Amino acid sequence: MIVGTGVTKTYKQRGGVLGGRDVPALRGVDFAVPKGGAVSFIGESGCGKTTLGRIIAGLETYDSGDIVIDGVSMSGLSHRRRQPYFRRIQLIHQDPYSALNPTRTVHQTLQAPLALRARQTDRSRSWTDERAEELLSLVGLDPGYVLPRYPHQLSGGMRQRVVIARALTMDPEVLVADEAVSMIDVSLRLGILSLLKDLRLRLGVGVLFITHDIATARYIGDDSELYVLYRGQVVERGNTETVIADPVHPYTQSLLSAIPVLHGLERPGPERVVPTEALDEAQADGGCLFARRCPFATERCVSEMPVLGRPGEGGQRHACFHPQRRSVIPVGAGRHAGAGG
Amino acid sequence: MTPTTVTAPGVRIRDLTVVYKTPAGELPAVSGVNLSLEPGTITGVVGESGSGKSTLALSLLNAVQPPGRIAAGSVEIDGLGDVLTLGGEDLRRARGRQVGYVFQAAQNSLNPLKTIGKQLLDLGRSHDVEDLRGLVRDAKELLARMGMDGARVLDSHQHELSGGMRQRVGIMLALVLNAKVVVLDEPTTALDMITQATILRIIREVHDERSLTTLVITHDVGAIAEVADSLAVMYGGRVVEHGEVTEVLGAPRHPYTQGLIRAIPRLSGDISEARALPGRPPTLGTLPAAGCVFRERCERRMAVCETDEPIPVFRDGRTVACHAVDHPLALVKRKEFA
Amino acid sequence: MTVIINPEGVADPQASPARTTRATLRRNFWRGVWRVLRRKPSRMAGVVIIVLFALMGIAGPLLYPDNLPRDDNALYAPPSLAHPFGTDFEGTDVLALVVTGARYVLLTGLATAAITVAVGTAIGLFAGFRRGRWDTVLMRLTDMNLAIPGLPLLLVLSTVWKFEGPLEMGLVLGLLGWGGIARAVRSQTLSLRERGFIEAARGLGLPTRHIIGRELLPGMAPYIAMNMLIAVTGAVYAQVGLFFLGVLPFESNNWGVMLNLAVFNGGALTTPAALPYLLAPLLAILLLTLGIVLIVDAMDEIFNPRLREE
């Protein structure tokens, strides 16, 4: 169980002689990843989702707030003491091409962390070879084929599976998948997504899924929770299916409206929302962060900042003064994909 | 047709074969492709890695780089002739003047050391544009049309623009010389959803206003669905299915198209119906020499798929290359008429 | 636990055994090297030249007696069958001088290259990987090293130290010359350490020793190897130059000494008699450099598994 409360992070933008501008990446984010649960963070680039993932994986520090892993507060620990906790949270990179060392075979890649793990758990060295084969089978690869090969000899999907196998060497509690399928061929994406889902259901490995493509978030489990981030703030949060089917925050609605409609297979949602302006990071704070792009903004939105409230009727929480359910997602056109002539 | 009205040109690709030289010999990245872009339409070409879609796009400009080589075929563009017979100066003029190209990840195709305006002037000079002021004016108009402050953008360097803005600059540079055929290679890759939606809308609007013939190359079926009139699906260097976009998406006939559409994560509907295609996309080296290129991943594989390559058959406004779909019917037809 | 989910990797009947031991990896590596070298005739020519020089360095002095025979009747003899490059001022065969002189030159070159690469790589890697204060200190040190004027320092040093063996010579040249490599390796490290696999290794908690030695270093191998080979040529020029200038005492037979004697004693620049004596060591240096340059071309392919295996 990982619980974050009020996690903030501000980057100093390097500026001229007069010093830089502060760029807030996270503005007090609360989250919880239950044991063996699934949580998705969605939003545009620059919304802080990647920063949050890296902080949770221990690859970056946070400025204030706290992260509690299995009841232990990370804020009170030194960098060295935090390491064993964060090692149980493994990051799956977006780019399976740079995540594997091109000069090392898959066998070598898995061997190093397994040897470390063998030392930690008092196992014999010969266990590592068995475990490597076991892990590769687990992620759906043929060990005999993959082990002696270099990354360039594998397809993108196979590499991503190797990356997942490598993360599993540490027997992690949570996998943080940062855009883990965006660079994989379309026909293979679902394979990786259902692998993550299966790992969760079979082995109880929690999944923290970070993506800009909301549709993929549905495929890691119907019990998953969705967080919609906008400029470092959670603006809507709830069960994934609920938030996608019945979004109440205009930003969530804009994101969902932007997803292309497969014309012929589905029809666009009747109430699609289009933001009035492009994202501008430099825009002044104060008031709702989305107010300037929001087609429904009122005077109150400009002067006052909404906070994430209690769960509403649909069960989700939102940070909006004028929540309104709108049907924005495409609806089926009544024809089935597979029906060929 | 009066001389003042400019109509969109048609493009006809015939039996195009592009081979790449590898240590294992010359292997075809594009193999006997036939594809017509109807004047004034947007054609989408969708395919995964190794499908040959980018090579096809480059062939339209006769710009395949070594170790690649266009081995056979022709690319006829109205008012220009066969692009593949052009060379040297004629070819250079055709690129930009007649055929505009928006490169894959346009964010990286701009020169980081020069302002956009300087790059625009370079483009103008290299095409001997007399009226550079007019060129700048056109560029500003185009940028304004796409929702940007033209003067500011022309004064900017590449790093001062966001991904979506760079993509729009790429489109502007492709259109500013009044090209009537436009090729966009992965125009929305690496863009956020909202930005992607904006770019797709702009592509559609600009296409209609300037009466262009547009080719969009992408791996993203969704992007094509939003913007294109007709859709060509490529696999292993072949066009396996081609037809009207809503028809192809609504009732795909080729097993690959069916599998691909079933593999797309969707916002609505039963997620348990979706599944990945088994196997993996072919690479140059793993393409089978004979038979159907898709057979290893195909559910409807038959004995004939091992030996004979399916011939694309045109029926009911749709071209499909598959034994399982068209072979029996096509055979019957031939017997009747031959 | 061994459930296979959505198999993607197709079983390959000819797949090599699953467990790749170090020995097989090493065998595959050398097979790859051989393949890369055979790809271009120029590389094989380079290999032949280098092997020739290596043999010369190892076995050369054994072919001739300790004191090379003199022939007082044939001072500055022109090239002939007995003396392919003529003779020197004492009537000693020039070819024999070149062959026996190779060991000193090559040993110095190797020692210099080994030291520049070892020191430069270590400092560059450490500075680039640790960044921060270490980086600042080590880079200032590197700047100082780069700023040392080599030749004047050597002139001063030679007054107090006689550089008796080739290894001492190499040590001094090496300690003077590591700055460039350190800077280059540092910048490579800075870019490599941002790659996903380095971050993954840190996330897995792998020790720094492993990350630097096994993840970073192999990626820089082509770079380091190229620098090392080029350092050899640099060292050869430097010492030959020093001997030619007569800065160093003539303790042993050396190509630089030959050049010096040919020019200043034999007047090779004005009279043709000593010309072969001058040209022979020059030709040797030229050939050695050529051999190295031809091989450098293969380094990228040797150390990049993709280019190697193709």
Percentage of chain A beyond pLDDT 90 is 50
Q: How many CB atoms lie within 10 A of CB C123?
A: 23
Instruction: Tell me if the domain spanning B11-98+179-289 has CATH number 3.30.830.10.
Output: no
pLDDT band per the 50, 70, 90 thresholds, residue A229: very high
Residue among C3, C197, C309 whose CB faces A99 most closely: C197
| Mutation choice for A interface testing from C2, C3, C4, C6 by most A CBs within 10 A | C6
- Whether the pLDDT of residue B216 is over 60: the answer is yes
What confidence score (pLDDT) does residue C11 get? Answer: 41
Among C16-25, C90-99, C283-292, the range of highest mean pLDDT: C283-292
pLDDT at A193: 92
Share of chain C above pLDDT 70, in %: 85
pLDDT at C1 over 50: no
**H or E element that contains C81:** none
Q: Which H or E run includes B32?
A: strand B25-37
Chosen for mutation from C5, C10, C35 (greatest number of chain B CBs closer than 10 Å) is C10
CA distance C37 to C44: 6
Candidates C238, C232, C73; CA nearest to C158 is C238
Say if the Cβ atoms of A187 and B48 lie within 8 Å.
Answer: yes
- Side chain identity at C296, as an amino acid letter? V
Q: Using the predicted structure, report yes or no on whether residue C42 has a pLDDT greater than 50.
A: yes
Amino acid B45: pLDDT: 96
Asked if the structure places residue A94 within a domain, the reply is: no
Instruction: State the smallest CA–CA distance between residue A247 and chain B in angstroms.
Output: 12
pLDDT for C23 beyond 90: no
Lowest-pLDDT range of A188-192, C237-241, C249-253? C249-253
In chain A, the N- to C-terminal Cα span, in Å, equals 50
Cβ contact (<8 Å) for A262 and B225? yes
Same domain? For A74 and A209 the reply is yes
pLDDT digits 0-9 by tens, C64-120: 777 777 766 766 667 776 777 777 767 777 788 888 888 888 888 889 999 999 999
A153, part of any domain: yes
**How much is the average pLDDT of A321-325?**
90
By mean pLDDT, which of A248-262, B252-266, C74-88, C115-129 is the weakest? C74-88
Chain A residues with CB-CB distance to B199 below 8 A:
none
List the strands of the sheet with B99-102, edge to edge.
B99-102, B181-185, B213-218, B42-46, B230-235, B238-244, B318-320, B313-315
**Cβ-nearest to B226 among A261, A333, A340:** A261
Chain B residues closer than 8 Å to A228 by CB: none
Domain ranges of chain B: 11-98+179-289, 113-172
3-class state of residue B296 by DSSP: helix
ipTM of this predicted structure: 0.86
Average pLDDT over residues A267-293: 77
- Is A324 contained in some domain? yes
Q: Which domains does chain C have, with CATH numbers?
A: 35-66+82-309 (1.10.3720.10)
- Asked if B279 lies within 8 A of C310 by C-beta distance, the reply is no
pLDDT, averaged across chain C: 80
Q: Minimal Cα distance from A141: which residue of B?
A: B279
pLDDT attached to residue B215: 95
A residues 128..187 contacting C (CB < 8 A): 129, 133-134, 137-148, 150, 152-155, 157-158, 161, 163, 166-167, 169-170
Q: What is the pLDDT of residue B331?
A: 41
Over range C204-208, report the average pLDDT: 89
Q: What is the pLDDT of residue B161?
A: 85
The predicted-structure confidence for B136-183, as pLDDT tens digits, reads as follows 999 999 998 888 888 999 999 888 888 888 888 998 998 888 899 999
Residue B228 has pLDDT above 80, yes or no: yes
Name the pLDDT band for A334 (thresholds 50, 70, 90). low
Question: Cβ–Cβ of C20/A166 closer than 8 Å?
Answer: no
For residue range B274-284, what is the model confidence (pLDDT) as tens digits?
A: 888 888 888 88
Q: Report residue B268's pLDDT band, with 50, 70 and 90 as the boundaries.
A: confident
A-B CB pairs within 8 A amount to: 159
How many CB atoms lie under 10 A from the CB of residue A244?
23
**Structural domain tally of chain A?**
2
In the predicted structure, residue B333 carries a pLDDT above the cut 80? no
Host domain of residue A128: 106-167
**DSSP class of B35:** E
Contact present, A240 and A315 (Cβ < 8 Å): no
A99 falls within a domain: no
Give a yes or no: residue A341 inside a domain.
Answer: no
Q: Do B23 and C310 touch (CB under 8 A)?
A: yes
Confidence of residue C177 (pLDDT cuts 50, 70, 90): confident
* pLDDT at residue B234 greater than cutoff 70: yes
Which chain A residues are Cβ-neighbours of C210 within 8 angstroms? 112
Contacts of B252 in chain A (CB under 8 A): 337-338, 340
Give the range with max mean pLDDT: A45-49, A275-279, B238-242, C286-290. B238-242
Are A178 and A273 in a shared domain? yes
Would you state the pLDDT for residue C13?
39
Nearest-CA distance from C214 to chain A in Å? 9
User: Which of A121, A146, A167 lies at the terminal end of a domain, its last residue?
Assistant: A167
Averaged over A8-34, what is the pLDDT?
80
Query: Is the pLDDT confidence value at A240 over 50?
Result: yes
Using a CB-CB cut-off of 8 Å, the residues of chain B touching A339 are 251
Using one digit for the tens of pLDDT, what is the confidence trace for A81-105? 898 899 999 999 888 889 999 989 9
Q: Which residue of A has its CA nearest to C304?
A: A103
pLDDT score of B6: 62
Confidence (pTM): 0.85
pLDDT greater than 80 at residue C170:
yes
Residue in the block written with tokens 């690496």: B190
Task: Spell out which residues of chain C touch residue B283, defining contact as CB-CB under 8 Å.
Answer: none
Q: What integer pLDDT is reported at residue B107 of this predicted model?
A: 59
Least confident piece of the model among A325-334, B104-113, C167-176: B104-113
Task: Examine the domain organization and report whether A202 and A279 are in the same domain.
Answer: yes
B70 Cα to chain A: minimum distance (Å):
26
Distance, CA of A323 to CA of A318 (rounded, Å): 8
Residue that is last in its domain, among A145, A167, A189: A167
Pick from B193, C110, C310: which is nearest to A230 by CA? B193
Residue A95 included in any domain: no
Q: What is the pLDDT of residue C2?
A: 38
Alpha-carbon gap, residue C225 to C181, rounded angstroms:
11
Instruction: Please give, rounded to a whole number of angstroms, the shortest distance from the CA of C306 to a CA of chain B.
Output: 13
- Of the candidates C218, C302, C290, which has an alpha carbon nearest to the alpha carbon of residue C36? C302
Averaged pLDDT score across all residues of chain B: 86
Using CB atoms and an 8 Å cut-off, which of residues 138-167 of chain B contact chain A? 147, 162-164
